[in-house]
Amino acid sequence: MNILTINLAFSTLVFWIAAKLYVLPNLQDYEARAILLPILLLHSLRHLGLMFLTSGATYPGIPPQFTHPAAYGDLVTAVLAVIAIPAVATQARSAKLLVWLFNVVGSLDLIGAITLATVYNAAPFMGPAYWIPAFWVPALLVHSWIRRARCPLLAQSGHSTSEFRCPLFGGKADIGQTLLNVCF
């Protein structure tokens, strides 16, 4: 039995229940910026994934096929989140593109890290860094879902949907947007 998978799944369930009880019922009351800024701030802390590269935070033998992509993917995602924060806060024209880029890179990083940790059996070597996939990743997964869940509500909020849709798809819901499941 893979304990890490159970921890990841159960923690994700707990964060989803919390979101369902406390966040989603009030989501339509907030503009996209008010939701995105705390999410971007949270993801700005993904630099902590660099722990996978430090001895003492992990045990000897942790597969580098997992550690390097996971650590650097988290760092790139954190940098993209930090860059997007002032653009979102000031409602700059670049905000949509920056959030979209952050969303794509961050989602691919989470999917890749979960896959690589499983394929290369990284869990037994994670040591103190075990808390990242057991607690942090589920929180990020649920926040990513909230970020995406906000998009359908924008059309009902009186805002122009093209104002919030992915700029690379011209504000239209097409197959590319559906496949990537990103709204910004």
Query: What's the whole-model pTM score?
Result: 0.77
pLDDT value at residue 167: 37
State how far the Cα of 67 lies from the Cα of 56, in Å rounded to an integer. Answer: 14
Residue of 2 and 100 predicted with greater confidence: 100
Q: What is the DSSP letter of 91?
A: T
Domain positions in the chain? 3-180
Q: Which residue has the higher pLDDT, 14 or 174?
A: 14
- Residue 54 pLDDT > 50, yes or no? yes
Q: Which of 16-20, 75-79, 135-139 has the highest mean pLDDT?
A: 75-79
* Contact assessment for residue 147 and residue 41, using Cβ atoms and an 8 Å cutoff: no
SS (H, E, C) 65-102: HHHHHHHHHHHHHHHHHHHHHHHHHCCCCCHHHHHHHH
Do 63 and 42 contact (CB within 8 A), yes or no? no
pLDDT of residue 77: 97
What is the model's pLDDT at position 71? 97
pLDDT (0 to 100) of residue 68: 98
DSSP 8-state secondary structure symbol assigned to residue 7: H
Mean pLDDT across the stretch 16-32? 86
State residue 102's pLDDT score.
Answer: 94
